[in-house]
Amino acid sequence: MNALPTTASGPEPALPVSVWATGQHAPATQRRGRYHPDGTAHPAKMLPAVAAHAIATYTRSGDLVLDPMCGTGTTLVEALHLGRRALGCEYETRWAVVARANIDLARTAGYDADAAVYCGDARRLDSVLPADYLGMVDLVITSPPYGDSTHGHVKTKPGEGVRKINHRYGSSALDRGQLANVGLGRLLSGFTRVLAASAPYVCPGGHLVITARPWRQHTELIDLPAHILTCATLAGLEPTERCVALLGRLAEGEFIARSSFFQRDFVVKKRQAGLPTHLIAHEDVLVFRKPLNCSGSQ
């Protein structure tokens, strides 16, 4: 579905919008057989169908896809399965190891395009990625870390009730190099640096796709997608689309949400406290382009 709304203030068109039907199959089904089980503990993995849709839409066979915050390598795996080359950077060594294991699984399945995962800080990509990749990337796909209310899993044990696990990044909350462990202001400035550092690796006219969702922090709604639009603009990128990636299934005449026990429990408790909270049914997908007349600089 595509539409091109106009702004209320004038004739200038708003960003084109589209809806991606990326939740037709459950996340576990999408990952079955492609991903190493050690990646299950990651706090927030990108839905494979979201990455696959973006790759199929904005690249061609043989193109190079980069994820500067690749986590367990979802973007890289989906790129390989679609006949693209893959390049990733991950801050945490633990997840970089899992990402490489996932690439090995793709190779075992017969997908042998070039792929590599580097470990380092995405804010300083020039010190992590080889210079050979400058201007060679056709598509960047990534997602910033955000509120732990949207992350993690629950574990139940007789006599201990319900507790949340795997909902934080890093080995320590004191690791300030991990953007998930800093306040909103530093998260946004850090992510702006990530985008600015990624831009030189993107070919002119290449695309950048960022997935994000709002979250509540101390009852306040944090509109992260709107902030990301600002971050990317400051990094010299041109917004081209704002899309919706569905996390639930479209059926005949209805939408069937997919949610965990924790997500439902969280919504119930917030509503009891008087907050108008709803189950998360989609992710915002923000699409940008590197200007044709811009070579990119850090």
Strands (E), the chain: 2-3, 17-20, 64-67, 85-90, 115-119, 137-142, 153-157, 161-165, 202-212, 215-217, 220-222, 238-246, 249-251, 254-256, 282-289
What pLDDT does residue 273 have? Answer: 86
Residue 294 predicted with pLDDT over 80: no
Q: Nearest Cα to 244, choosing from 54, 27, 43?
A: 54
Q: Which helix (H) or strand (E) element contains residue 229?
A: helix 224-234
3-state secondary structure of 44: coil
8 Å CB contact between 235 and 169: no
Band (171; pLDDT cuts 50, 70, 90): low
Q: Nearest Cα to 279, choosing from 255, 293, 249, 258?
A: 258
What pLDDT does residue 298 have? Answer: 43
What pLDDT does residue 297 have? Answer: 44
What DSSP state is assigned to residue 273? T
The whole-number average pLDDT for the span 137-143 is: 97
Give, in order, the Cα–Cα distances in Å from 110 to each of 13, 56, 78, 240, 243.
44, 19, 13, 35, 32
Residue 222 predicted with pLDDT over 80: yes
The CA dihedral of 230, 236, 239, 242, to the nearest 10 degrees, is: -50
Residue 194 predicted with pLDDT over 60: yes
Domains of the chain: 2-289 (3.40.50.150)
Q: How many CA atoms lie within 13 A of 19 on its CB side?
A: 12
Residue 12 predicted with pLDDT over 70: no
Residue 193 predicted with pLDDT over 60: yes
Q: Which residue has the tokens 């190099």?
A: 177
Q: Report the share of the chain in percent with pLDDT over 90.
A: 62
8 Å CB contact between 74 and 46: yes
The model's pLDDT over 30-78, given as tens digits with 9 standing for 90+, comes to 999 999 999 888 878 899 999 999 999 999 999 999 999 999 999 999 9
Band (177; pLDDT cuts 50, 70, 90): low
Give, in order, the Cα–Cα distances in Å from 69 to each of 154, 236, 284.
25, 19, 18
What pLDDT does residue 174 have? Answer: 54
What pLDDT does residue 24 have? Answer: 95
The CA dihedral of 137, 40, 24, 86, to the nearest 10 degrees, is: 10
What's the mean pLDDT when you consider all of the chain? Answer: 86
The model's pLDDT over 228-257, given as tens digits with 9 standing for 90+, comes to 999 999 999 999 999 999 999 999 889 998
What are 156's strand-pairing partners? 162
The model's pLDDT over 156-168, given as tens digits with 9 standing for 90+, comes to 666 666 565 555 5
What pLDDT does residue 215 have? Answer: 77
| Separation CA 150–CA 48 (nearest Å) | 18
The whole-number average pLDDT for the span 108-134 is: 97
Length of the chain measured in residues? 298
| Separation CA 156–CA 171 (nearest Å) | 23
The whole-number average pLDDT for the span 100-121 is: 97
Band (119; pLDDT cuts 50, 70, 90): very high
What pLDDT does residue 97 have? Answer: 96
